[in-house]
Each structure stands twice: as C-alpha cells, then as structure tokens.
Amino acid sequence: MQAIAARLQPFAPHALSLLRIMAALLLLEYAFLKLFDFPTAPDFPMETIFYVAGVIELVGGLLLLLGLFTRPVAFILSGETAIAYFHTHAPHSFHPIVNGGGMAVFFCFVFLYLVFAGGGVWSLDRLVLKQD
C-alpha cells in the first residue's frame, strides 16, 4: 500500500488543481442558472439574495477557475455556500439528502479545504504571485 502512495504522491498538487478547476466549473453553472437562466431557468423564485449569490458565484468561480487569489476567494465561497445551505435548504429539513442541499455542503467543505491547500500547481497564484 505504501508503494502505491509513494507513486501517487508526486501527482497530489495536480489533483488539487483539478479539484479546484472542477469545483469552479460546477459553481459557475449555479451562477449562470441564477444570472442568465442558462442552461435552464431556476425552479425557484429569484429573490435579491439569489442575485447576490449569483454574482459572488460568478466572480468567485472565475477567479477560482484561474487559481487567482485562491485562498481568500475560497474562504468567501465556503461562507457563501454555508449560507446557501442554512438559508435555502436547512429550513426544509436538517438532512441534506432530504432538503436537496448536499451540493451546498459539499461545496462548502471543498472550498474550505482550498483555503488551506491553495490552488495547486496549475494556478495563477503560483505562476504570477509565486504562492502555492
């Protein structure tokens, strides 16, 4: 088992970048849904808070996709997705499987991880700002 871990370890920074990129792309889908009705219109009434969330997700998702200011952006997005869970999903049930908030919880903890881990090797943070 240690031999497998030793072989995989050099690729961990690349896997971190892939996690960041895919999380950003998925988050951008929620931004596009809220702001541009793409690929479909939202199935909930759009209130002001959802437009604000859409802007945060659009700007944050683009910055995260590029890996620019990853740690502070991920911190903001972790909080935004936690608020999304408690504002929109938790009032229906505490359990994410029941209230449809599983993705919000998942995003919250992926973004929290990125606060500590950074953007990985494929990020503008590393290229431009000389940060990990």
Number of domains in the chain: 1
Residue 102 lies in a domain: yes
pLDDT-derived band at 2 (thresholds 50, 70, 90) equals confident
Question: How far is Cα 24 from Cα 107, in angstroms, rounded to an integer?
Answer: 10
- The per-residue pLDDT for 132 is 66
**pTM listed for this prediction:** 0.94
Residue 1 lies in a domain: no
- The per-residue pLDDT for 123 is 97
Q: Is the pLDDT of residue 70 over 70?
A: yes
Cβ contacts of residue 52 below 8 Å, gap of 6+? none
- The pLDDT mean for the chain works out to 96
- The per-residue pLDDT for 122 is 96
- How far is C-alpha 16 from the chain's CA centre? 13
Distances (CA, A) of 35 to 50, 56, 114, 131: 9, 11, 25, 32
Question: What is the token pair recorded at 34?
Answer: 């809220």
Q: Is the pLDDT of residue 9 over 70?
A: yes
With b for 16 or more beta-carbon neighbours within 10 A and e for fewer, the 87-121 pattern comes to ebbbeeeeebeebebebbbebbebbbebbebbbbb
Residue 4 lies in a domain: no
Q: Is the pLDDT of residue 89 over 70?
A: yes
pLDDT tens digits along 91-112: 999 999 999 999 999 999 999 9
pLDDT-derived band at 131 (thresholds 50, 70, 90) equals confident
Domain housing 57: 12-36+46-127
Residue 112 lies in a domain: yes
Q: Is the pLDDT of residue 24 over 80?
A: yes
Question: How far is Cα 125 from Cα 68, in angstroms, rounded to an integer?
Answer: 5
Residue 32 lies in a domain: yes
